[in-house]
């Protein structure tokens, strides 16, 4: 399996730093999560029921004509490639690596391309997978460009899959409202915006027929009863959502400015994280970890430059700790190079 951010216990053991002493910025999960309520006993005692109102509430939140609750968007990422005969699939790079792996495991030929290359190569591809905004590169796309790309693919029976796990802070950019078009699949995640990653919940938005096929592939009870209960309330809490969007956008901007002050300005970001290229990313990751600061490191390959992704600090004190740690780590690395 691929490794992801959030492996705090592993880092604590490796660097021998207690869990409580870490500043964990290794994921793109909002640190300002929606506060889950106490759960009534019956949601633990009954099997999940599809007619509990969750789908209706979710349609209202996402603006999607049809959607299917799934056990995190990861469940759909793994299942979708098995709903098509093997073909040629273009996946955005750098990007969330599970997409390419899932299509490859299902027997498809996978090419990892930049966003610009994917748009140019659409006529030579059966499926295009984009992440919007991209993780980690933070690329954003115009709605008209995405729908134009979809039309080019759909005219030949192709698909456009858009992973919108990080779009909730800017919902006006979403394609959920257009997802009943044949060959357009939009994936949404609960974990990032609502800070409910442990619930392992998300939604697939697509045409009714495609969702029926996906439901058959995934089987019954994709979400637990307690998860469905929490989701119905979180998706209906419009006041909290509006405040969270403002807070996330502000925090993303503050984090970007902090990294710029530390000399890490080559990259981009969104409301949930900042991505920065650095030629010695692995060494910088290690130097930060030795100071109890965990970020996500991307090793260099043909499509991904050496780089680091920084999740949002929860408050000013955490942001100051990050800046202090970066100054120390970069100074240490510079000193070692001079000494060497």
| CATH number of the domain encompassing residue 14 | 3.90.1150.10
Same domain? For 130 and 229 the reply is: yes
Same domain? For 125 and 225 the reply is: yes
Residue that is last in its domain, among 184, 205, 236: 236
Using a 10 angstrom Cβ sphere, with 0-12 exposed, 13-18 middle and 19 or more buried, the burial of residue 127 is buried
Residue 140 in any domain: the answer is yes
Q: Give the domain extent around 166.
A: 41-236
Same domain? For 223 and 310 the reply is: no
Residue that is last in its domain, among 236, 254, 278: 236
147-190 residue pLDDT tens: 999 999 999 999 999 999 999 999 999 999 999 999 999 999 99
Residue that is last in its domain, among 170, 202, 236: 236
Residue 2 in any domain: the answer is no
Residue 193 in any domain: the answer is yes
35-47 residue pLDDT tens: 998 999 999 999 9
Same domain? For 133 and 107 the reply is: yes
| Residue 326 backbone dihedrals phi, psi, to 5 degrees | -65, -45
Residue 3 in any domain: the answer is no
| CATH number of the domain encompassing residue 79 | 3.40.640.10
What residues have CB less than 8 Å from 75, skipping those under 6 apart? 202, 218, 222
pLDDT > 70 in the chain, percent:
96
Residue 102 in any domain: the answer is yes
Residue 1 in any domain: the answer is no
pLDDT of residue 300 exceeding 80, the answer is: no
Q: Mean pLDDT throughout 64-73? A: 96
What are 296's two structure tokens? 């996500």
pLDDT of residue 24 exceeding 90, the answer is: yes
pLDDT of residue 340: 47
pLDDT of residue 338: 40
- Provide the pLDDT confidence category of residue 104 given band limits of 50, 70 and 90: very high
Same domain? For 60 and 140 the reply is: yes
183-242 residue pLDDT tens: 999 999 999 999 999 999 999 999 999 999 999 999 999 999 999 999 999 999 999 999
Same domain? For 118 and 224 the reply is: yes
Same domain? For 14 and 70 the reply is: no
- Chain-centroid distance of CA 328 in Å reads 30
Same domain? For 129 and 142 the reply is: yes
Same domain? For 12 and 91 the reply is: no
pLDDT of residue 335 exceeding 90, the answer is: no
pLDDT of residue 263 exceeding 90, the answer is: yes
Same domain? For 135 and 272 the reply is: no
| Residue 161 backbone dihedrals phi, psi, to 5 degrees | -105, 125
d(CA 17, CA 328): 18
Same domain? For 102 and 221 the reply is: yes
Number of folded domains in the chain?
2
Q: Mean pLDDT throughout 58-87? A: 97
Same domain? For 232 and 243 the reply is: no
pLDDT of residue 299: 75
Q: How wide is the angle at C-alpha 271 spanned by C-alphas 37 and 93, nearest 5°?
A: 115
Q: What is the mean pLDDT of the chain?
A: 94
Q: Does the global pTM surpass 0.75? A: yes
pLDDT of residue 283 exceeding 50, the answer is: yes
């Amino acid at each position: 399996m691929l490794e992801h951010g959030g492996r705090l216990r592993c880092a604590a053991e490796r660097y021998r730093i207690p869990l409580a002493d870490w500043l964990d910025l290794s994921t793109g999960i909002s640190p300002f999560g929606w506060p889950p309520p106490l759960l009534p006993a019956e949601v633990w005692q009954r099997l999940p029921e599809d007619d509990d109102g969750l789908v209706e509430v979710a349609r209202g939140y996402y603006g999607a004509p049809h959607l299917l609750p799934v056990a995190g968007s990861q469940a759909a990422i793994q299942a979708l490639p098995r709903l098509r005969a093997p073909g040629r699939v273009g996946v955005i790079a750098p990007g969330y690596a599970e997409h390419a792996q899932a299509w490859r495991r299902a027997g498809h030929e996978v090419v990892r391309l930049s966003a610009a290359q994917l748009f140019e190569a659409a006529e030579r591809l059966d499926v295009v997978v984009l992440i919007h905004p991209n993780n980690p590169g933070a690329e954003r796309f115009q709605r008209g460009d995405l729908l134009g790309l979809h039309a080019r693919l759909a005219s030949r029976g192709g698909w456009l899959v858009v992973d919108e796990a990080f779009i909730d802070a800017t919902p006006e950019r979403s394609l959920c409202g257009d997802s009943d078009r044949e060959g357009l699949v939009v994936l949404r995640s609960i974990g990032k915006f609502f800070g409910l990653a442990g619930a392992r919940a998300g939604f697939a938005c697509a045409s009714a027929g495609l969702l029926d096929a996906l439901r058959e592939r995934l089987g019954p009870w994709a979400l637990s009863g307690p998860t469905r209960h929490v989701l119905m309330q979180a998706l209906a809490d419009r006041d909290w959502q509006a405040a969270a969007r403002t807070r996330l956008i502000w925090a993303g901007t503050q984090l970007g400015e902090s990294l710029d002050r530390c000399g890490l300005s080559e990259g981009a970001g969104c409301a949930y994280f900042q991505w920065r290229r650095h030629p010695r990313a692995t060494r910088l990751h290690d130097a930060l970890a030795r100071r109890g600061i965990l970020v996500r490191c991307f090793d260099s390959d043909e499509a991904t430059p050496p780089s680091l992704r920084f999740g949002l600090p929860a408050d000013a004190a955490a942001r100051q700790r990050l800046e202090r740690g970066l100054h120390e780590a970069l100074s240490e690395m510079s000193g070692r190079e001079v000494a060497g």
